[in-house]
């Protein structure tokens, strides 16, 4: 079955991209199944969900697939569904989650209704939603704070501004390949249009690069302990945003701890899988490095129990 579907950049670029590894895994899965199990969802022939699956279909036209037509009042309602759908289905990095949360906030402020998963967003809510009301609603649905939603909106605007001048860099930030503090990205999101280009250049080519260089130099040596410690610092680097931390509630803090723990476990698992031969040959050293991390976490727990200054 061949259909003339439309790839609209306004829709495609709003969804965080898959990494090359994730795309390859999806392609292998589809080829193994012999079909595309999830339908390509479209609105007026514009793809709103399934851009990566559609790309794979173009490479393998013999693979059967289905198309499902969606019914939206306008593009903002379509965006609202897209972001909510992505937030509920993908294993997202923290940056991707923050970006989609911000884009959902933007869409919700423009939309005039529509059904939402698990929480009716019905026609009784028609009309323009005030920013605070939209933030409170999303915060309740996503189990985060209202301030986090508002900050995510600024972050998403910053990423979109970076995409206008450095498209590839925006994708690298969202996939985690490029480490950039969220506070600087939010400042770009709040800036006047004429200031954006200079701010993006400073953020990406100024202090950020210098900080990363110092980190690499400061973690010299070849021991597994130092290498894994560097991975931990890179993963939780976003927690160094003082502005974000100052606005945290206890719910934000526990959520952040859990999210970063899951992220680190995922990175550690992938790291071991990617270097399985090396780990098999040096199991004792790797286990010792992991035990060192566990010991450090236990010490933090002990200090919290004892009321000791962290």
Determine the pLDDT at residue 249: 65
pTM of the full structure = 0.59
Residue 66 has pLDDT above 90, yes or no: yes
CB contact at 8 A, 22 and 92: no
- The region that residue 46 occupies, defined by phi over 0 for left and psi between -120 and 50 for alpha, beta otherwise, is beta
Six token digits for residue 148 = 């986090």
Sign of CA dihedral 151, 145, 178, 13: negative
Please give, one letter per residue, the 3-state secondary structure of 3-20. Answer: CCCECCHHHHCCCCCCCH
Sign of CA dihedral 179, 183, 184, 190: positive
Rounded CA-CA distance 143/218 in Å is 38
What pLDDT, in 10s, does the model give residues 86-120?
888 757 888 999 999 999 999 998 874 444 444 44
Rounded CA-CA distance 181/178 in Å is 10
User: Under 8 Å CB-to-CB from 278, ≥6 apart: which residues?
Assistant: none
Residue 27 has pLDDT above 80, yes or no: yes
Rounded CA-CA distance 295/286 in Å is 14
Bridging pattern class, strands 67-69 and 40-43: parallel
The backbone torsions φ and ψ at residue 214, rounded to the nearest 5 degrees and listed phi first, read -60, -40
What pLDDT, in 10s, does the model give residues 135-191?
888 999 888 888 899 999 999 999 999 888 888 888 888 888 888 888 889 988 888
**pLDDT interval class at 214 (50, 70, 90):** very low
Rounded CA-CA distance 85/92 in Å is 12
Six token digits for residue 251 = 């719910």
- The region that residue 307 occupies, defined by phi over 0 for left and psi between -120 and 50 for alpha, beta otherwise, is left
Q: How far is CA 252 from CA 110, 146, 231, 239, 257, in A?
A: 27, 10, 23, 11, 9
């Amino acid at each position: 079955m061949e259909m003339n579907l439309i790839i609209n950049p306004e829709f495609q670029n709003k969804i965080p991209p898959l990494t090359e590894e994730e795309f390859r895994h999806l392609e292998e899965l589809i080829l193994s199944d012999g079909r595309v199990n999830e339908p390509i969802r479209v609105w007026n022939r514009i793809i709103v969900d399934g851009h990566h699956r559609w790309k794979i279909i173009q490479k393998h036209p013999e693979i059967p697939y289905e198309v499902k037509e969606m019914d939206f009042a306008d593009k903002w309602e379509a965006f609202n569904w897209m972001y909510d759908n992505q937030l509920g289905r993908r294993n997202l990095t923290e940056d991707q989650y923050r970006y989609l949360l911000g884009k959902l906030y933007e869409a919700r402020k423009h939309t005039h209704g529509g059904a939402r998963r698990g929480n009716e967003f019905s026609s009784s809510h028609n009309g323009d939603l005030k920013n605070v009301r939209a933030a409170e609603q999303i915060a309740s649905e996503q189990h985060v704070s209202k301030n986090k939603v508002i900050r995510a909106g600024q972050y998403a605007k910053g990423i979109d501004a970076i995409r206008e001048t450095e498209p590839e860099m925006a994708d690298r930030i969202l996939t985690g390949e490029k480490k950039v503090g969220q506070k600087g990205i939010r400042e770009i999101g709040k800036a006047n249009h004429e200031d954006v280009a200079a701010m993006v250049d400073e953020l990406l080519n100024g202090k950020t690069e210098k900080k990363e260089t110092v980190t690499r130099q400061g973690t010299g040596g070849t021991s597994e302990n130092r290498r894994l410690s560097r991975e931990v610092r890179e993963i939780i680097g976003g927690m160094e945003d003082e502005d974000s931390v100052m606005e945290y509630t206890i719910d934000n803090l526990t959520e952040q701890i859990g999210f970063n723990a899951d992220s680190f476990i995922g990175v550690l698992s992938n790291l071991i899988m990617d270097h399985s031969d090396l780990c098999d040959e040096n199991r004792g050293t790797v286990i010792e490095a992991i035990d060192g991390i566990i010991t450090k976490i236990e010490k933090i727990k002990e200090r919290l129990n004892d009321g000791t200054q962290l």
